[in-house]
Amino acid sequence: MATATKKPLTAAQFKTKVLHHLNFTSSEVDFQDNPSAVLRAVCLAVNEVVYEKLKETNAAHTEQKARSVNYLSLEYLMGRMLSNNLHNLNLFDIAQKAVADLGFELEDIFEEGHDLALGNGGLGRLAACFLDSLATLDYNAVGYGIHYQHGLFEQQFHKCRQIETPDEWREYGNPWEVCRPEAVQEIPLFGSVETQAQVDGSVKKIWHPGQIIKGVPWDVPIVGYNSKTVNVLRLWESRACSHFDWDQFNAGAYQDAHSAQNQAETISKVLYPNDETEAGKELRFIQQYFFCACSIKDIIKRYQKQYGDDWSEFANQTVIQLNDTHPTIAILELMRTLMDDYDFNWDNAWAMCRQVFAYTNHTLLPEALEKWAVSMFERVLPRHLEILYAINEQFLNHEVARMWPGDVQMRARLSLIEEGQQKMVRMAHLCVVTSFKVNGVAQIHSDLVQSDLFPEFNKLYPGKLTNVTNGVTPRRWLKACNPKLSKLLDTVVKNDWAKELSSLNAVAEYADDAKFQKKFMDIKHENKVKLAGEIHKLTGVEVNPEAIFDVQIKRLHEYKRQHLNFLHILGLYRRLLENPDYDMHPRVFIFGAKAAPGYYLAKEIIYAINKVAERINNDARIKDKLKVVFLPNYRVTLAEKIIPAADVSEQISTAGKEASGTGNMKLALNGAVTIGTLDGANVEIAEEVGDDNIFIFGNTVDQIKAMKVAGYNPWQFYEANEELKDVIDWLRGDFFTPGKPGELGAIAHSLLEGGDPYRVLADYDDYARAQEALDVAYKDSKRWARMAILNTAKMGKFTSDRSIQDYVNNIWKLTPIK
Ligand code: GL2
């Protein structure tokens, strides 16, 4: 059915809607000193447009019987929604006018919004970018995840140390979500399995669960940019099935009467704040099962709405993408459901699973590859463990035995079960065996997945392991966060670059144009002035916008090597103390990072940086040539403020450790020049921008491997470089902590006695050299402007639209909705 083209809303109409919600939804007639009521009313006004599009999208999906991708992810780092939704719906300007008419600045209204921080870092933010691109490209997609009551903790600094407080993102409601009671699911847990003999001689397995949990879905609409589509992100909240035990309550056991409810609600209570480490707790395992089971039931229900009991189209209609190993249990749940609830035989159920699942690997770090104790598995999901054993037997006895007959070691290496004192289930192996495609997230990472992580699987399943390089949405990460640069780009790029990012290539022609250079760098300067204000507000430190703004923003982890940056800052400080006229352009080092609450060394690194920053920022001798700020509570919203103002992007992980990185793409897109190792997507960024427009340093993956073979001795590097030795000795003594020697010693200890696992010392020299080259380049303002412009111009490859199209072409095989 063709819909008549609708007239775009006017600012006056939009204002009427906002006033309506202020009066009738919020009953807030006196809103002048209540910007949060205005925010709510604006969101509800936007939702009127969103819901209409959502209805039309659903109708089109049904009518066109569109194959869908179901993205299963334990994390979604959405950030704030309003600005993005306004841009994507092309309502930004009219909303700005309408809100101005009501006496507010739209930007101040945004500040009232809370981040949806249901994720830790890159993996969760990637999921959010992918949802944006899927809707933008008009694909039928549903994101599934957990409706955490508390997202990632909020970070404050107290006496330079990280303090965590709970995130209360929806304490007073969230205008972007809708509860869907009609789609509630019931999820069994624990209990035992009964084997029932059937009359035909076969056996039927019956799972008698010990507990049933209710899964309540909350839908967050995902609005495509300049597209027809609104998809949904469906987040499951856990609740008790039987709410309240009145008998117990009347008998006076008030606490117990609540206990089932509390226990059930614990499942979706809080996001595990670990990044790149296995959580290894039963609750985490139950979280994973809970959301996978809800999602599998929901996927089947959506399918049955169209096809009833006819399963023949299921694999044609459905692909389920596993975002890391966190949702692996969905595989066993689909097997169980097909066999136990829908009477599939083993072969048909297994064939189905092998057609619908695909898996993305996001890390090579062994500590992040999930394994679950068999004993715990058995207690929580006894039926699933049986199925896992059966899959393993078939896999080892048929596929492995056929390829490597009689090879006992190979069986042990590939088995889904790791033998040992405590038997463990290897979730990644289950993913690789089942999935029809397995992808890494940048070329170098995918190559390492094939050569180092899963070489045997790569032999066993040629062509299964592949690459899809990550990307970021240019809507949030340029158009919305950097409006001034966006407008400048509009003047020289004909196409809608936010939808066709490769058209930014046209900007390269202006890289040497003096007028364009001035405009580009003036905008950077304005953004720096604005960030300087924010830095002052957050830390009390005054920074000079004429200085180089050098940014390292990402989770705190040893492999990301914030401590390499830190040692180099100490090196510069030492040079300036020795010679206050040391020739360097003034530099502001800006950090943003949360450390996992239980990660000791990461927290010590934060402490050390804050402590040293206090000294350096107040040391008059160095004439403001060096400033160090650690901005508290790094999150999407803060990234949106920092990135447009960055001159330099620090991407300095140990080669082979950062699977891709995506901050590297966002910063380069906004005209920051990268100083980085040949790791993750840096390699591809270097290919795009060219060697002259990036500062590459450090040992390569192969050199890092060779060092290990030769035997790595950090003391050798310490002894060989006087500057390095001196600054490490500062940390070991009481230079920054008078009277308290060794208070910053944890870093030094890990680098020397601890063996320097991330090869910080081995890369120090070359890093310092690259930093000097960068300083020289910055002092040549024309050269720097050219570099910055070319970084923006050459980022076309790194739009998440391209990533999604790669997934569609090589893995998902979707067709866009018309
Ligand atoms: C990560 C990788 O570390 C990071 O390099 C990558 O960009 C993202 C998205 O693919 O995935 N893996 C991981 O476990 N986390 C990441 O950020 N948390």
Is 680 near ligand 1, meaning CB less than 6 Å away? yes
Residue 277: band (very low, low, confident or very high) from pLDDT cuts 50, 70, 90: confident
Nearest CA to ligand 1 atom 15: 123
To the nearest 10 degrees (0 to 180), the angle between helices 35-63 and 92-101 is 150
Which atom, in ligand 1's list, is nearest to the CA of 659? 5
Which atom, in ligand 1's list, is nearest to the CA of 275? 18
C-alpha 273 – ligand 1 centre gap (Å): 14
Q: Which of 15, 21, 114, 362 is catalytic?
A: 362
Mean pLDDT of 599-621: 98
pLDDT tens profile 45-95: 999 999 999 999 999 999 999 999 999 999 999 999 999 999 999 999 999
Mean pLDDT of 318-332: 98
pLDDT tens profile 541-551: 999 999 999 99
Distance, in Å, from the CA atom of 386 to the CA atom of 371, rounded to the nearest integer, reads: 17
Residue 249: band (very low, low, confident or very high) from pLDDT cuts 50, 70, 90: low
Nearest CA to ligand 1 atom 9: 123
CATH number for the domain whose boundaries are 474-699+763-797: 3.40.50.2000
C-alpha 590 – ligand 1 centre gap (Å): 22
Catalytic residue list contains 297:
no
C-alpha 367 – ligand 1 centre gap (Å): 13
What's the pLDDT at 2? 43
Which atom, in ligand 1's list, is nearest to the CA of 661? 7
pLDDT tens profile 432-479: 999 999 999 999 999 999 999 999 999 999 999 999 999 999 999 999
H or E stretch at 142:
strand 141-146
What's the pLDDT at 278? 86
Which atom, in ligand 1's list, is nearest to the CA of 658? 5
Which atom, in ligand 1's list, is nearest to the CA of 120? 18
Give DSSP secondary structure letters for 525-585. Answer: HHHHHHHHHHHHHHH-----TTSEEEEEES---GGGTHHHHHHHHHHHHHHHHH-TT----
Is 660 near ligand 1, meaning CB less than 6 Å away? yes
Distance, in Å, from the CA atom of 285 to the CA atom of 267, rounded to the nearest integer, reads: 10
Closest to 440 (Cα-Cα) out of 418, 471, 476, 465 = 465
In this structure, what token pair is assigned to residue 26?
A: 């919020």
Catalytic residue list contains 459:
no
Which atom, in ligand 1's list, is nearest to the CA of 445? 5
| Residues whose CB is less than 8 angstroms from the CB of residue 59 and which lie 6 or more positions away in sequence, other chains included | none
Give DSSP secondary structure letters for 424-462. Answer: EEEHHHHHHHH-SEEEESSHHHHHHIIIIISHHHHHHST
SS (H, E, C) 658-714: CCCCCHHHHHHHCCCEEEECCCCCHHHHHHHHCHHHCEECCCCHHHHHHHHHHCCCH
Q: Which of 57, 434, 473, 662 is catalytic?
A: 662
Mean pLDDT of 695-718: 98
What's the pLDDT at 314? 98
Which atom, in ligand 1's list, is nearest to the CA of 362? 12
For 178, phi then psi, to 5°, come to -125, 130
- 509: pLDDT strictly greater than 60: yes
Give DSSP secondary structure letters for 36-48. Answer: HHHHHHHHHHHHH
Catalytic residue list contains 555:
yes
Q: Which of 114, 147, 284, 554 is catalytic?
A: 554
In this structure, what token pair is assigned to residue 512?
A: 């040497």
Which atom, in ligand 1's list, is nearest to the CA of 122? 17
Distance, in Å, from the CA atom of 545 to the CA atom of 568, rounded to the nearest integer, reads: 21
Give DSSP secondary structure letters for 92-132. Answer: HHHHHHHHHHTT--HHHHHTT---EEES-SHHHHHHHHHHH
Ligand 1 mutation pick, 660, 666, 682, 807, max ligand atoms within 8 A of CB: 660
pLDDT tens profile 643-652: 999 999 999 9
What's the pLDDT at 244? 60
- 254: pLDDT strictly greater than 90: no
Which atom, in ligand 1's list, is nearest to the CA of 126? 9
Is 120 near ligand 1, meaning CB less than 6 Å away? yes
What's the pLDDT at 1? 40
Residue 166 burial (CB count, 10 A)? 14
Q: Is 54 exposed, middle or buried (0-12, 13-18, 19+ CB in 10 A)?
A: buried
Mean pLDDT of 208-235: 97
Cβ atoms of residues 104 and 778 within 8 Å: no
C-alpha 730 – ligand 1 centre gap (Å): 33
Mean pLDDT of 8-31: 93
C-alpha 355 – ligand 1 centre gap (Å): 26
Q: Quick one: how far is CA 137 from the chain centroid?
A: 21
In this structure, what token pair is assigned to residue 597?
A: 């609450």
Closest to 436 (Cα-Cα) out of 729, 726, 82, 811 = 811
Average pLDDT for the chain: 96
Q: Which of 297, 336, 625, 666 is catalytic?
A: 666
Q: Residue 626 corresponds to which amino acid?
A: L
C-alpha 124 – ligand 1 centre gap (Å): 8
C-alpha 757 – ligand 1 centre gap (Å): 20
C-alpha 576 – ligand 1 centre gap (Å): 37
Is 121 near ligand 1, meaning CB less than 6 Å away? yes
Is 275 near ligand 1, meaning CB less than 6 Å away? yes
Catalytic residue list contains 554:
yes
The domain limits of the chain are 64-80+115-470+805-812, 474-699+763-797
Is 662 near ligand 1, meaning CB less than 6 Å away? yes
Is 278 near ligand 1, meaning CB less than 6 Å away? no
Cβ atoms of residues 292 and 72 within 8 Å: yes
Distance, in Å, from the CA atom of 77 to the CA atom of 326, rounded to the nearest integer, reads: 16
Is 714 near ligand 1, meaning CB less than 6 Å away? no
Catalytic residue list contains 362:
yes
For 343, phi then psi, to 5°, come to 55, 30
Cβ atoms of residues 416 and 388 within 8 Å: yes
C-alpha 207 – ligand 1 centre gap (Å): 36
Is 470 near ligand 1, meaning CB less than 6 Å away? yes
Task: Give CA angle at 232 (228, 234), nearest 5°.
Answer: 175
Is 658 near ligand 1, meaning CB less than 6 Å away? yes
Which atom, in ligand 1's list, is nearest to the CA of 75? 18
C-alpha 660 – ligand 1 centre gap (Å): 7
- 322: pLDDT strictly greater than 70: yes
Is 126 near ligand 1, meaning CB less than 6 Å away? yes
C-alpha 227 – ligand 1 centre gap (Å): 28
The alpha helices in 196-313, defined as continuous H runs, are: 246-250, 254-266, 282-307
What's the pLDDT at 251? 74
Distance, in Å, from the CA atom of 623 to the CA atom of 607, rounded to the nearest integer, reads: 24
Nearest CA to ligand 1 atom 12: 362
Catalytic residue list contains 603:
no
Closest to 660 (Cα-Cα) out of 442, 467, 473 = 442
C-alpha 30 – ligand 1 centre gap (Å): 46
Q: How far apart are the first and last CA of the chain?
A: 11
C-alpha 470 – ligand 1 centre gap (Å): 10
The alpha helices in 191-253, defined as continuous H runs, are: 246-250
pLDDT tens profile 279-297: 889 999 999 999 999 999 9
Cβ atoms of residues 788 and 672 within 8 Å: yes
Is 124 near ligand 1, meaning CB less than 6 Å away? no
Is 661 near ligand 1, meaning CB less than 6 Å away? yes
CATH number for the domain whose boundaries are 64-80+115-470+805-812: 3.40.50.2000
Instruction: Check: pTM over 0.95? Answer yes or no.
Output: yes
Nearest CA to ligand 1 atom 17: 122
Q: Which of 61, 555, 594, 603 is catalytic?
A: 555
Is 663 near ligand 1, meaning CB less than 6 Å away? no
Residue pointed to by tokens 């009518």: 63
Give DSSP secondary structure letters for 722-773. Answer: HHHHHHHHHHHTTSSSTT-TTTTHHHHHHHTTT--TT-HHHHHHHHHHHHHH
Ligand 1 mutation pick, 324, 363, 438, max ligand atoms within 8 A of CB: 363
pLDDT tens profile 97-142: 999 999 999 999 999 999 999 999 999 999 999 999 999 999 999 9
Same-fold call for 64-80+115-470+805-812 versus 474-699+763-797: yes
Q: Which of 284, 429, 464, 560 is catalytic?
A: 560
Mean pLDDT of 650-673: 99
pLDDT tens profile 345-354: 999 999 999 9
Is 396 near ligand 1, meaning CB less than 6 Å away? no
C-alpha 364 – ligand 1 centre gap (Å): 10
Mean pLDDT of 656-680: 98
Mean pLDDT of 596-606: 98
Task: Round the CA-based radius of gyration of the chain to a whole number and report it.
Answer: 27
Cβ atoms of residues 232 and 222 within 8 Å: yes
Q: What is the ipTM of this complex?
A: 0.99
C-alpha 679 – ligand 1 centre gap (Å): 13
Cβ atoms of residues 185 and 298 within 8 Å: yes
Is 362 near ligand 1, meaning CB less than 6 Å away? yes
To the nearest 10 degrees (0 to 180), the angle between helices 382-394 and 346-356 is 90
